[in-house]
Amino acid sequence: MTCGFGTRIKGAQIHHGSLRDRRFAGLGRLQGPIVFGASKPVLHRSSLLTTTGFQSDTHVNQRQISCPQTKQTLLRLIQTQYLCQHPVTKQLTLLQSWANQCLASAVVCLSCIALLVTSPADTAEARTHLTQDEISITELFRENTPSVVFITNLASRRDAYTLDMLEIPQGAGSGLIWDLSGHIVTNYHVIRGASELQVTLTGGAEHPAKIVGYDEDRDVAVLQLITTEGEPPLLHPTKLGDSAELLVGQKVFAIGNPFGLDHTLTSGIISGTGREISSGNTGRPIQDVIQTDAAINPGNSGGPLLDSDGNLIGINTAIYSPSGANSGVGFAIPVDIVRSSVDQIIRFGRVIRPILGISFAPDQSSEQLGVQGILVLDARKGGPAWKSGIKGTSRDKYGRLVLGDIITALNGKRVRTASDLYKLLDKCSIGDKVDMEVLRENNKEHIAITLESSSSLPAPQAPAEPHKSRSSPTP
Known catalytic residues are 189, 219, 301
Per-residue CA distances from 390 to 34, 387, 449 (Å): 131, 8, 9
Report residue 190: phi and psi, to 5°: -75, -35
Give which of 377, 364, 333 is closest to 473, Cα–Cα: 377
Distance from C-alpha of 208 to C-alpha of 153, rounded to nearest angstrom: 11
Q: Estimate to the nearest angstrom the gap between the alpha carbon of 350 and the chain centroid.
A: 31
What b-and-e string marks burial along 14-38, b requiring 16 or more CB atoms within 10 Å of the CB?
beeeebeeeebbebbeeeeebebee
Distance from C-alpha of 130 to C-alpha of 121, rounded to nearest angstrom: 10
Distance from C-alpha of 82 to C-alpha of 90, rounded to nearest angstrom: 11
435 with 408: CB under 8 angstroms? no
- DSSP secondary structure of 406-447: EEEEETTEE--SHHHHHHHHHT--TT-EEEEEEEETTEEEEE
Give which of 78, 87, 80 is closest to 33, Cα–Cα: 78
Give which of 240, 260, 139, 265 is closest to 200, Cα–Cα: 260
21 with 1: CB under 8 angstroms? yes
Phi-psi region at 17: left, alpha or beta (left = phi > 0; alpha = psi -120 to 50): left
Give which of 376, 420, 425, 438 is closest to 402, Cα–Cα: 376
Other beta carbons within 10 Å of 155:
15
